[in-house]
A and B are shown apart, each in its own frame.
Chain A
């Protein structure tokens, strides 16, 4: 039965294969398609970033951030590492953004509050400089060291290799990151802990 379905599917796709062979001459090559996809993701990233920075409304700004994360995930897909792309979405869109949304909802946000004031010119300049700093430091480093990066063949960045790398060669970094996360979590619990039997004002006074 399964073979029959497979044969049926193959016969269904054969006209498409013929069509593709027919117009293969004026189809753009993989290179052009990759550049087009790159341009599209760059646009998504820039639009999301501008929305996140420029929107007066915090919820819309968060939506811009979601768009940026989608663009980053697309970039990972383009780099043939779907695992990273899906983890990006799972962690940043599914957990981080959702938690920030939650925090926004718990605050009194009417759209006329503090977040809707335009920043002063000095703040804007500092902000732009702070944004450019990683670009100016990391960009030259990446470009200079491009030929020293380990070359991985297309389709070789599979999850198994990634996992093996993380628990053998790069285990120290991996564990350090988990310790940082643990410390952050313990700090959050400590800050939010309210001793039983005291009301809110008293515990804030401690």
Chain B
């Protein structure tokens, strides 16, 4: 990686594109989510604004932009306003090593997956700060839940990814995609189905989505760590949540589903098709499963996912070493 103006320009352009992707993704996903939710619960979903309610998400975002920012009393001012910013900006970094094509990466880092895992830790810190700074008991409870959940689900997630890294011998996302073929039976999901399953469960836990959305469980905690945020403060948390969802879907596509490679013609469209298939799956299980209790959530992780992932990693290591 050499320092040059072209490199800087590339990263800045990539960041701008990522912001556009984040906002566009959130607008599209809100509509998809509400329509899918309506379909699953046998009701129409949004249908008033525009044909088939397609402009509903635009209206919602306009409402968020114009909303008064309500600030509760006795808060920690610096941390209260720092938290949404800290939630939003690391996500820009996380998209840099994602390969959309053989050469279509913002920054081809050899330790790409480590960069993603390292900077996603800042998202947890922002959740804690938000819950802490807003001087609200629901906020603190949500933040405490966010911590124990994120710390727990990070471990099987990393172990599942590590199994693929063992097979490939590289931490670079581009290299991992390059080692897979174009057809579905050449993808890593075939050789590592257990790792794929573990990753799929723990990515739902890691992105705080139902059935694992305990940090913001609205029936118990109002809105959890972002109870006291309104307007754009809330919008930044919301954007970063959807951006994180898209990011783990991209990583899932690159690690298990062949990334930008696909039947007939390789290219970035396959990356998007696969990632959005994973997104739709996440939305689907959100509206199909009931929310688990908190002890159940941690038991699933520590008693099932962690031993399974250790076993999977161990078997993979033995196979890689001796066969």
B110 touches A158 (CB 8 A): yes
Contact A1 B266 (CB under 8 A): yes
A179 to B80, CA, bound (A): 41
Task: Mark contacts of B101-117 with chain A using CB atoms, 8 A cut-off: 1 yes-contact digit, 0 otherwise.
Answer: 11110000111001101
- By a CB distance below 8 angstroms, the chain B residues around A159 are 110-111, 171
Bound together, the chains give a CA A88 to CA B121 distance in angstroms of: 11
Measured in the bound complex, the distance between the Cα atoms of B110 and A57 in whole Å is 39
Q: Which residues of A contact B140 (CB under 8 A)?
A: 105
Interfacial residues of chain A within 80-102, with CB under 8 A of chain B in the complex:
82-83, 85-90, 93-95, 97-99, 101-102
A40 proximal to B (CB < 8 A): no
C-alpha spacing A102/B141, complex, angstroms: 11
Q: Are B114 and A87 in contact (CB under 8 A)?
A: yes
User: In the complex, what residues of A have CB within 8 A of residue B4's CB?
Assistant: 16-17, 20
A89 lies within 8 A of B129 (CB): no
Asked if residues B143 and A105 are in contact (CB atoms below 8 Å), the reply is yes
Closest beta carbon of chain B to A14's beta carbon, Å: 8
Query: Do A5 and B101 contact each other (CB < 8 Å), given the known contacts A82-B111, A89-B119, A94-B117?
Result: yes
Residues of A contacting B28 with CB < 8 Å?
none
Nearest to A30 among chain B residues (CB) is: B3
**Which one of B9, B76, B78, B121 contacts A89 once the chains associate, using CB atoms below 8 Å?**
B121
Q: Is A45 an interface residue (CB 8 A)?
A: no
Which B residues from 1 to 32 make CB contacts under 8 A with A?
Answer: 3-6, 9-10
In the complex the two chains form, is A19's CB within 8 Å of B125's CB?
no
Choose among B9, B120, B265 the residue that contacts A1 (Cβ–Cβ < 8 A). Answer: B265
Given known A-B contacts A16-B6, A86-B117, A90-B118, A95 and B76 have beta carbons under 8 A apart: no
* Option from A88, A93, A105 in Cβ contact (under 8 Å) with B132: A105
Contacts of B9 in A (CB 8 A): 13, 16
Q: Does A189 make an interface contact (CB < 8 A)?
A: no
Docked Cα-Cα span, A33 to B8, in Å, equals 14
**B125 near A98: Cβ-Cβ < 8 Å:** yes
Contact between chains at B132 and A9 (CB < 8 Å): no
Q: Which partner residue on chain A sits nearest B117 by CB separation? A: A90
* Interface presence of A106 (CB below 8 A): yes
How many residues on A have C-beta within 8 angstroms of the other chain's C-beta atoms?
38
Whether the pair A93, B121 counts as a contact (CB closer than 8 A) is yes
CA distance A158 to B175 in the complex (A): 15
Q: Does B267 contact A1, Cβ atoms closer than 8 Å? A: yes
Contact A86 B115 (CB under 8 A): yes
Q: Which residue in A6, A20, A89 is a CB contact (below 8 Å) of B5?
A: A20
Q: Is the CB of B124 within 8 A of A94?
A: yes
Query: B121 near A33 (CB under 8 angstroms)?
Result: no
Which of B46-54, B145-153, B183-191, B244-252 is near enough to bind chain A?
B145-153
CB proximity of A81 to chain B, nearest CB, Å: 10
Least distance between B254 CB and chain A CB atoms (Å) = 16
Contacts of A99 in B (CB 8 A): 147, 151
Given contacts A1-B265, A16-B9, A158-B110, contact A98 B101 (CB under 8 A): no
Chain B interface (Cβ < 8 Å from any Cβ of A): 3-6, 9-10, 76, 78-79, 101-104, 109-111, 114-115, 117-122, 124-125, 128-129, 132-133, 140, 143-144, 147-148, 150-151, 154, 171, 265-267
A-B contact pairs, 5 of them (CB 8 A): A6-B103, A82-B109, A82-B114, A99-B151, A106-B144
20 extra interchain contacts, Cβ-Cβ under 8 A, other than A66-B125, A98-B150, A158-B110? A2-B102, A2-B103, A6-B102, A9-B103, A16-B4, A16-B5, A17-B4, A59-B129, A59-B132, A60-B78, A83-B114, A86-B117, A87-B118, A93-B122, A94-B117, A97-B125, A99-B147, A105-B140, A105-B147, A159-B110
